[in-house]
A and B are shown apart, each in its own frame.
Chain A
């Protein structure tokens, strides 16, 4: 009797805990909760951009730090426009992934990022020193005319607008950071008499002659900023430069946008589908397996609660494919239960007493459960590491988690509940409740 009480006690604790978890999941669905579900772009609406960085000019081969600076620059710019929870990260192959939730106007998004100016200082090649007439220059490309110096916007500390006292014209003053100042000093010391061109977004803004070594890292871009229009231009340029000049040129290679209404629809539909899936499976289980079926439904509910709580706590970004993965795993989670029930039925048929039948059912089913779930885990792992989109990664993560949690819920939850049901009598009623379906 004492054993029975202990078993029923544990089953009770299990249900209470699960209810608590379920309540946590439910109550944190409020707007400002820290534990709200994190929704991916295809559910929230938003834009994802992938940029390819051209790092062939990065001097010293310090590509990693160039990519990091690129990331910071773009992030600062995105933050200025108040995008909530953007994701900006460096990807392999010198790429930058930018996710802008809620931004559905791609043009704005691209413009935001596109405003980041690219600043480069290049030396006119020695052979062209004397041929500065535009006829010669016009026909040639920049690469052929200029040498890179490695002095780019990456090394800029800050810039400001200044006025050339005599003419009243505006100029943009540049102050390089200590590394930049050192490099600038070196360039100017070793190349006195040569033309140093200042490139802004690929266009030459000015090309002064180096007269002496410039220490202290100060330079200025003058000429071309005349009048009030010039002042405005200079101010915008300074603004953009200060928010960060691109350390390397970038090219947009892929965009994906999902409109907000499509996103909303997807969320609603997914929740709907999930609910119905649960219901249908539940009905099927109860009709076919009767009492154990009811237990399986409770176990399924516990499974769902645990999974949803994990999604909130980790947190896992939910995408449409992720939700599909969760629904799929619900269907598969039932499998472990079915295995156990079928085995138990077999043991019952062999004439075993109910309690022993359950124990044997578990023992024999476990090997099958373990083996068959491993194959799903293999798939999920490979998918996770080879996925090319966050959609698929989300699916793999949710699916994999689902398989693991389902093994846990079958072994602990179903087991606890089933054992608690053991009745000392092996009477007809109990046997009916435990047998199943249309078969004998």
Chain B
């Protein structure tokens, strides 16, 4: 089947995306939100229209100096809003900063504030890492268990392993994307982003299982028939049979997410973007990479024993 036949092309494509992600991470890193780093983010809105940018910047700079704010990031958002991110500030410092916004020429209203202490930030980071590792672990165990009866020509644990490779691929690329988006547009990595990653993991496995399921079924059928088909043919057929269904499921989920991205609340906008990227990549990996990897492993095994 053409997808399996040309698997090298798809391997190369994925490799390019992954390398690009790593490069971006190495050069630009990620914009880590206060959820993990600790600090304060204040978002203000100017209902009557935003005053001159230079004015706002100088007023904030003045106040920042007065309260020894240290490093801060001041950023205009959309048409009417401004946000400032800095170390954690106490009540009086916060009031001064808010006042500075209002003194820049137009009155400003508070939209939202997030003030996280370093202890909570550190905990959140730990929890995020642990939960990602746990999810990956559980998924490996689950797949190994679900496919335990398949042992030839590829052992069941290898199914699990290849699924993990596909998963890693599905997680690295959205992170790389957010590294680029973070550098150019200030997109941050916060607890919602980690949540998105976990959902992507769950969804991608969901998709991969359907293909692997089909391969398993076809293997069984082929075993019972007189002329046993080659593994690569079986895999090819399985991919062809499940192709439409994979695309359609992802399609409906992505459609829902697109609606969320364009029409939904601001707070979940980046979240839905991360999900869209992740699910698109996840579907791609389930169809073009996950099964092809099984064939590659089998051919590799054959070469070793030959």
- Which residues of A come within 8 Å of B, CB atoms? 42, 50, 52, 104, 106-107, 110, 253-259, 261-262, 265-267, 269-270, 272-274, 276-277, 280-281, 284-285, 288, 320-321, 323-324, 327-328, 330-332, 334-335, 338-339, 342, 346, 367-368, 371-376, 378-380, 382-383, 386-389, 391-392, 395-396, 399, 437, 439
Contacts and interface: CB of A to CB of B under 8 A. Distances in A.
B202 A281 contact: no
Given A270-B264, A321-B195, A332-B203, A437 B259 contact: no
Given A256-B113, A379-B199, A320 B268 contact: yes
Given A42-B267, A372-B206, 12 more contacts: A284-B255, A324-B272, A327-B257, A328-B199, A328-B257, A331-B255, A342-B244, A367-B213, A375-B139, A383-B195, A388-B124, A392-B191
Contacts of A280: 255-256, 258-259
B205 interface: yes
A320 B265 contact: yes
A110 B91 contact: yes
Contacts of A274: 259
A368 B209 contact: yes
A168 B31 CA distance: 64
B193 to A, nearest CB: 11
A159 B61 CA distance: 49
23 contacts: A253-B119, A254-B117, A255-B113, A255-B115, A256-B112, A277-B255, A280-B255, A320-B264, A324-B264, A324-B272, A328-B257, A331-B253, A331-B255, A367-B213, A371-B146, A372-B205, A372-B207, A375-B209, A376-B203, A386-B127, A386-B134, A391-B191, A437-B244
Q: Which of A50, A255, A273, A368 has the most CB of B within 10 A?
A: A273
Interface in B108-135: 109-117, 119-120, 123-124, 127-128, 130-131, 134-135
Interface string B30-59: 000001000000000100000000000000
Interface in B222-280: 241, 244-245, 248-249, 251-260, 262-268, 271-272, 275
B210 interface: yes
Contact of B264 (A273, A281, A339, A389): A273
Given A269-B264, A372-B205, A331 B254 contact: yes
A107 B112 CA distance: 14
A324 B260 contact: yes
Given A280-B256, A379-B199, A269 B205 contact: no
A334 B266 contact: no
Q: Please tell me the size bucket of the interface on B.
A: 35 or more
Contacts of B206: 332, 335, 372-373, 375-376
Interface string B59-84: 00000000000000000000000000
Interface string B263-306: 11111100110010000000000000000000000000000000
A378 B249 contact: no
Given A321-B271, A338-B249, A392-B195, A107 B256 contact: no
B253 A266 contact: no
A375 B253 contact: no
A371 B159 CA distance: 15
Given A321-B192, A378-B135, A389-B191, A273 B259 contact: yes
A184 B64 CA distance: 50
A327 B131 contact: no
B12 interface: no
B245 A277 contact: no
Ordered nearest first, which 9 A-B pairs have the shortest CB separation?
A: A331-B253, A379-B202, A331-B256, A266-B265, A273-B264, A253-B117, A277-B259, A372-B206, A273-B263
Interface string B87-108: 0000100110000000000000
Nearest to B268: A324
A176 B267 CA distance: 49
B138 interface: yes
Q: Which of A253, A256, A265, A281 has the most CB of B within 10 A?
A: A253
Contacts of A106: 91, 94, 113
A382 B135 contact: yes
A104 B113 CA distance: 10
A335 B113 contact: no
A321 B267 contact: yes
Interface in B173-221: 191-192, 195, 198-199, 201-203, 205-207, 209-210, 213
Contacts of B11: none
A373 B244 CA distance: 19
B1 to A, nearest CB: 15
B142 interface: yes
A387 B35 CA distance: 12
A327 B269 CA distance: 13
A390 B199 CA distance: 17
Contact of A395 (B115, B195, B256): B195
A387 B109 CA distance: 31
A161 to B, nearest CB: 30
Contacts of A342: 244-245, 248
